[in-house]
């Protein structure tokens, strides 16, 4: 084999919660600098996949390699070092409501890396400006912000420590179409600026088309399609075709009825 | 019959499993705190929450407990012409027993519930996962400062409660029951030994740790939105209260048992 290993390589990933099997052998690669979007219906295990890669959930079996290094079952200190490569934008923002906005953005710099507060604060305001928020917003509490602004703060927080891999969990869910487009633009811009690899999960096809280099479709715990974003409309894969066009009739519907 | 026994067994096993999980949780939080980074600012904030802000409610309960104690012992002891023992009864009951237990229960309701609600909300809104992704161990950042604060703050709070409680007894005895001030004060101090106060403070440390541990554990493991957080709060207060009373007996037996 030649060339560098993929940034993220997932092989045979299984994860079950009690009787409920969520991931049943996921195989997927993501190259460095690539923006991968995982699509799929609600409850197909997209979030679980991302949480397994992040190490927030322990997979039952399988392999997850980051930069060629196996990460399943590594120790606490190695995990902490690995976490510094990651940034994550949570679906609900997950901003710390006891802290001010700028402290949220500077959190990983101050707490995680022990940066001096004044310097971290400067960077925080830079990042806030990068997502289009003024300095006055930095002094507010997260609860005082609208949903779209919270998402932008969460984005600023995710990119503040210059992560190598950024995960986006449903970045546009719950936003109006215009704000969703603003967020999509910001994601594309920020990911490009820091040169990061991006893994997003969404069921919003508009968002997927905008931010993806490659798209993978997760269905029943397996990747059923994986290819360049441009080919998503040309594929004859029945699952993808149904999902992209949002049709009630098709192979996925059968599963819904059976369940 | 077998079904009945099986259900008892299942409850017992679940109880043991929960006990094990709680011990592991505490052990992991303490182990996480051995190496830096430390969070002195967070510890200070928790000490303020548990200690300073609990002073009014603990002080009020303590003063009334001391007052009612003097009144009740007077009713009982006057039947044996043993009124002179009231001061001793008040000071021993308050320092050895009522100070720590009442402060512990009040703090369980005030602080334990707040901890469970705060950490539980952080859990269900992904804030705890967010901490992990921001290179911060949530056990070290959220749980350990609360456990340490509980352990060291409650003894201080109980010392204040002891003084206020004894003062409550003194007020009732001297102003209402007509005791001589000097002789009441003398019999308060005459029969008081250091161990009476110290044992109460040891209990307080254990109770403070229990309250913080139950608040953190139930909050940290809460699931399923607002309902889950509500449940975690209930569990935190109920389990802390029961554990306080059980460990109070065990500690008394260990400290003074023959």
pLDDT for A177 equals 87
Encoded tokens for B183: 């002789």
Decide if B133 and A56 are in contact by the 8 Å CB cutoff. Answer: yes
Which residues fall within 8 angstroms of residue B201, CB to CB, at 6 or more apart?
B100, B155, B158, B159
Residue of chain A whose alpha carbon sits nearest to that of B141: A111
**In chain A, what's the furthest Cα-to-Cα distance?**
57
How many whole angstroms from its chain centre is CA B149?
12
pLDDT for A78 equals 85
Decide if B129 and A90 are in contact by the 8 Å CB cutoff. Answer: yes
Encoded tokens for B23: 């011990």
In a domain, B245, yes or no: yes
Q: Check if A86 contacts B (Cβ < 8 Å).
A: yes
pLDDT at A2 over 80: no
Q: Name the least confident of A95-104, A117-126, A169-178.
A: A169-178
Q: Are A12 and A3 in contact (CB under 8 A)?
A: no
**What pairs with residue A16 in β-bridges?**
A21
Q: What's A157-211 look like in SS3?
A: HHHCCCCCEEEEECCCCCCCHHHHHHHHHHHHHHHHHHCCEEEEEECCHHHHHHH
Q: Are A112 and A161 in contact (CB under 8 A)?
A: yes
pLDDT at A115 over 80: yes
Interhelix angle A147-159/A117-130, rounded to 10 degrees, is: 120
pLDDT for A231 equals 84
Q: Check if A159 contacts B (Cβ < 8 Å).
A: no
Question: Where residue A259 falls among pLDDT bands split at 50, 70, 90?
Answer: very low
In a domain, B26, yes or no: no
Q: Check if A51 contacts B (Cβ < 8 Å).
A: yes
pLDDT at A74 over 90: no
Closest CB from A90, A112, A157 relative to B136: A112
Contacts of B126 in chain A (CB under 8 A): 90-92, 94
For range A242-251, the mean pLDDT: 80
DSSP A91-105: TT----TTS-HHHHH
In a domain, B15, yes or no: no
How crowded is residue A67: how many other Cβ atoms within 10 Å of its Cβ? Answer: 16
Q: Measuring CA to CA, how many Å separate A252 from each of A24, A241, A256?
A: 17, 10, 7
Closest CB from A90, A97, A107 relative to B126: A90
Q: Name the least confident of A2-11, A65-74, A134-143.
A: A2-11
Closest CB from B125, B126, B136 relative to A111: B136
- The 10 Å CB-count burial string (b at 16+, else e) for A14-35 is bbeeeeeebbeebebbbbeebb
pLDDT-flagged residues of chain B (< 50): none
Tell me whether the omega of the peptide bond preceding residue B37 falls within 30 degrees of 0, making it cis: yes
Q: Give the pairing of strands A214-219 and A197-202.
A: unpaired
Which residue bears the tokens 């936003």? A175
Percent over 90 (pLDDT), chain A: 26
**What pairs with residue A61 in β-bridges?**
A14
Q: Mind telling me how many Å the CA of A56 is from chain B's nearest CA?
A: 7
Q: Are B119 and B220 in contact (CB under 8 A)?
A: yes
Q: Are B131 and B142 in contact (CB under 8 A)?
A: yes
A69-83, A118-132, B210-224, range with greatest mean pLDDT: B210-224
Contacts of A80 in chain B (CB under 8 A): 135, 137
pLDDT for A258 equals 47
ipTM entry: 0.86
How many whole angstroms from its chain centre is CA B61?
14
In a domain, B33, yes or no: no
pLDDT at A125 over 70: yes
pLDDT for B252 equals 94
Q: What tens digit of pLDDT does each residue of A198-222 get?
A: 999 988 888 888 899 999 999 888 8
Cα–Cα distance measured from residue B168 to residue B165, given in angstroms and rounded to the nearest whole number: 5
Q: Among residues A259, A251, A225, A254, which one has the least CA distance to residue A43? A: A259
DSSP A8-77: EEEEEEEEEETTEEEEEEEEEEE-TT-EEEEE--TTSSHHHHHHHHHTSS--SEEEEEETTEE-TT--HH
Mutate to test the interface with A, among B134, B146, B226 (most CBs of A within 10 A): B134
Interhelix angle A251-258/A238-245, rounded to 10 degrees, is: 80
Cα angle value A114/A117/A119 (rounded, 5°): 100
In a domain, B42, yes or no: no
pLDDT for A240 equals 84
Which residues fall within 8 angstroms of residue B150, CB to CB, at 6 or more apart?
B46, B50, B111, B208, B209, B210, B211, B212, B213
pLDDT at A164 over 70: yes
236-255 of A, contacting B, C-beta below 8 A? none
**Counted domains in chain B:** 1
pLDDT for A253 equals 60
Decide if B126 and A94 are in contact by the 8 Å CB cutoff. Answer: yes
* More confident of the two residues A174 and A128: A128
Domain that includes residue B87, residue range: 52-256
Which residue bears the tokens 């608040």? B215
Contacts of B134 in chain A (CB under 8 A): 83, 107-108, 111-112, 157, 161
Which residue bears the tokens 């209260």? B241
In a domain, B4, yes or no: no
Contacts of B137 in chain A (CB under 8 A): 80
């Amino acid at each position: 084999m030649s060339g560098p290993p993929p940034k993220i390589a997932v092989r045979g990933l299984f994860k079950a919660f009690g009787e409920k099997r969520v991931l049943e052998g996921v195989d997927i690669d993501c190259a460095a600098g690539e923006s991968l979007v995982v699509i799929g219906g609600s409850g197909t295990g997209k979030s679980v996949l991302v949480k397994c890669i992040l190490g927030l959930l322990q997979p039952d079996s399988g392999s997850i390699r980051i930069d060629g290094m196996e990460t399943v079952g590594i120790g606490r200190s190695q995990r902490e070092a690995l976490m510094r490569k990651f940034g994550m934008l949570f679906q609900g923002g997950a901003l710390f409501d006891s802290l001010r906005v700028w402290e949220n953005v500077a959190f990983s710099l101050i707490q995680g890396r022990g940066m001096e507060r004044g310097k971290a604060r400067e960077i925080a305001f830079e990042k806030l400006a990068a997502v289009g928020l003024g300095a006055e917003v930095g002094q507010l509490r997260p609860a005082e912000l609208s949903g779209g602004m919270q998402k932008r703060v969460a984005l600023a927080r995710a990119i503040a420590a210059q992560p190598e891999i950024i995960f986006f969990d449903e970045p546009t869910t719950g936003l109006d179409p215009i704000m969703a487009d603003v967020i999509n633009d910001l994601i594309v811009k920020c990911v490009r600026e820091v040169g990061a690899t991006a893994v997003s999960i969404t069921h919003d096809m508009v968002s997927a088309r905008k931010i993806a280099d490659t798209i993978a479709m997760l269905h029943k715990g397996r990747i059923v399609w994986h290819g360049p974003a441009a080919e998503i409309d040309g594929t004859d894969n029945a699952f993808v075709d149904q999902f992209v066009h949002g049709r009630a009739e098709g192979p996925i519907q059968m599963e819904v009825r059976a369940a | 019959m077998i079904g009945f026994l099986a259900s008892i067994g299942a409850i017992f096993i679940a109880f043991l499993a929960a006990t094990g999980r709680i011990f592991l949780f505490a052990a992991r939080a303490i182990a996480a705190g051995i190496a830096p980074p430390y969070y002195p600012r967070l510890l200070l904030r928790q000490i303020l929450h548990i200690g300073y802000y609990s002073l009014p409610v603990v002080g009020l309960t303590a003063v009334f407990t001391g007052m009612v104690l003097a009144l009740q012992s007077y009713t009982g002891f006057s039947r044996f012409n043993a009124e002179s023992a009231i001061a001793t009864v008040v000071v021993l009951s308050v320092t050895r027993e009522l100070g720590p237990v009442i402060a512990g229960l009040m703090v369980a309701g005030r602080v334990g519930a707040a901890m469970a609600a705060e950490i539980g909300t952080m859990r269900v809104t992904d804030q705890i996962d967010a901490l992990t992704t921001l290179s911060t161990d949530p056990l070290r950042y959220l749980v350990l400062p609360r456990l340490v604060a509980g352990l060291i703050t409650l003894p201080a709070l109980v010392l204040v409660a002891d003084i206020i409680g004894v003062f409550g007894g003194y007020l009732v005895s001297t102003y209402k029951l007509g005791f001589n001030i000097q002789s009441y004060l003398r019999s308060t101090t005459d029969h008081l030994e250091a161990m009476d106060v110290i044992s109460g403070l040891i209990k307080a440390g254990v109770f403070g740790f229990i309250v913080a541990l139950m608040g953190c554990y139930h909050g940290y493991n809460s699931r399923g939105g607002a309902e889950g957080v509500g449940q975690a709060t209930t569990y935190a207060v109920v389990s802390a209260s029961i554990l306080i009373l059980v460990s109070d007996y065990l500690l008394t037996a260990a400290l003074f048992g023959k």
